[in-house]
A and B are shown apart, each in its own frame.
Chain A
């Protein structure tokens, strides 16, 4: 596998036992989408690699895998959650001061090390920008280590665009090329309407020296990755963040298996080289 993904592990003796955390801030990003800023009760700095995720517990409701979107000052964590089920619904209802449980970080993150000195394509669909946000923070903080950096972002409607002020900030910084599109819009929207694969043609990058990181609904990732290969990027240099049902996050419960991979442990970030033959199998 080209490029080593950086991982950080939670080195407690009891990976199945949550640590206590509290919500410090609550932002409503979009209908059904909330960003929480969380602080660990023991105030220890939280070390993680972009692309990793935590298991968040709402006491008495359950636990869900949520990717880490950022850790602004080490001790606070950012999680963006979409209300799609009982646990995520409860998470989106948490207010500052509420307690929750946290286990993590888990998983293999984005191959930032392998992206050094390369052009970087970051392609996000819908909520997929959340796990990629931490990569963008890292790139902006170490900008000279990377070549041409491009963010292609497709959202459902203008009001579903995540972190709009940050996206605008990245665009205006001139350090990152940003192209945005939405699937549906009314006449008040002056931007692009179409799908994110269409943005690839306009993007500037040297295919043989590019690393792509893709996150979004699986169908979107399949077609984006295929389009990237058509643009001469090697499948080994295209990375997708996969999602499956998770219960333990340590490779013991069996739920997150996709082919031979445990998404919690071998992923969630996996190379398209490995994924391509599996993605086309229905109900794998």
Chain B
């Protein structure tokens, strides 16, 4: 699997068509309303060629450039959890028949998908959600079905995004981990894609598109592109034991300073590719003969998230911000063996007041009490 091949632009087009013919619904980056989102596409020509994104705390913008790259942008507000850990899911429904309630659960989905252009940080984020939802005592059957049926076509980042910091979270810019195929886009002298396979499914699809072995020069070029990206990261987490830093400073006054800026709008949790919290809602018809329960995304920033005994356990914004940040960077390690953050930078870009999680971690580091 360490063999590196080359696809031309046409070769990649054929590969995507092969995926589609194999029954996979293609989901790829699209430019909609000036934002890079993930949506269903027909084929390669739908990719937003030459679109560049400009991201910084609280800011997101795109513009058209003359660059021929298919993947000239980094990540937008969507993450692949949209298609794996659905925002809305019916858990069961029940009907009253002859005075007795019959409960039925929907069948897990058997739809096949192919995620096109998955970034290194996203491959890691998917693996983190796999750990939470599939590898504990309980398996989320709906997630597993979608996950097993998702083909991952990843791509190394040829540009550092304005907000991201994968290098300091050891989650990029080169794709690593669980993927089917991974590309490195090279635009000169020819527009080609280095391609490496990460699975048998990847091997099988690659066989259906014309490809050749990469030359040593091409491989070096690919490595240089990735190294260039890594060298241009705009921010980093402080080099310290972050889980211990946060767990030893739970009563630090800095949480109140953060709270004075945070709107508890929950944007960060919606765009974060690893946030997994959900809530449920029970509904019935007016005759109270049919019932169902729906699961929906939730956020620890929502006031009633921690509702208990007539009030919220985490009533202040400071407590809720602390819950999010310490879960992501500290508790997650105790719970699942690694940090919950992949350095994608979405929470920084999409925070309306531009709170930067790397800066805030640095602030705790600089002012630590314990």
Contact = CB atoms under 8 A, between A and B. Distances in A.
Given A63-B282, A101-B103, A252 B307 contact: no
A17 B278 CA distance: 16
Nearest to B102: A20
Name which of B91, B101, B133, B319 has the most chain A CB atoms within 10 A of its CB.
Answer: B101
A102 to B, nearest CB: 11
B223 interface: no
Interface stretch (A161-169, A173-181, A253-261): A253-261
A14 B105 contact: yes
Interface residues of A, number: 40
Given A57-B282, A259-B331, A283-B314, A252 B308 contact: no
Given A245-B305, A245-B307, A281-B251, A250 B137 contact: yes
B42 interface: no
B314 to A, nearest CB: 5
A284 interface: yes
Contacts of B136: 250-252, 265
Interface string A148-186: 000000000000000000000000000000000000000
A140 interface: no
A114 interface: no
Contacts of A281: 250-251
Contact of A245 (B141, B293, B308, B335): B308
B313 interface: yes
A20 B138 contact: no
Given A60-B288, A252-B132, A252-B138, A99 B101 contact: yes
Contacts of A260: 330-331, 334-335
Given A254-B298, A259-B331, A283 B319 contact: yes
A30 interface: no
B280 interface: yes
B306 A244 contact: yes
Contacts of A275: none
Given A84-B310, A253-B279, A283-B313, A265 B137 contact: yes
Contacts of A252: 132-133, 136, 138, 140, 276, 278
Interface in A233-265: 243-245, 247-248, 250-255, 257, 259-260, 262, 265
Contact of A248 (B137, B251, B280): B280
Contact of B279 (A20, A41, A243, A247): A247
A18 B282 CA distance: 12
Contacts, number: 117
A244 to B, nearest CB: 6
Contacts of B323: 257, 284
B257 interface: no
A20 B101 contact: yes
Given A60-B282, A255-B277, A283 B103 contact: no
Nearest to A62: B282
A251 B103 CA distance: 23
Contacts of A61: 282
Contact of B103 (A18, A243, A257): A18
B193 to A, nearest CB: 37
Contacts of B250: 281, 284
B363 interface: no
Nearest to B300: A254
12 contacts: A60-B282, A60-B283, A60-B288, A84-B310, A244-B306, A244-B313, A253-B278, A253-B298, A255-B306, A260-B330, A282-B319, A284-B313
| Closest CB pairs A-B (n = 6) | A60-B284, A254-B277, A283-B319, A260-B334, A250-B138, A260-B331
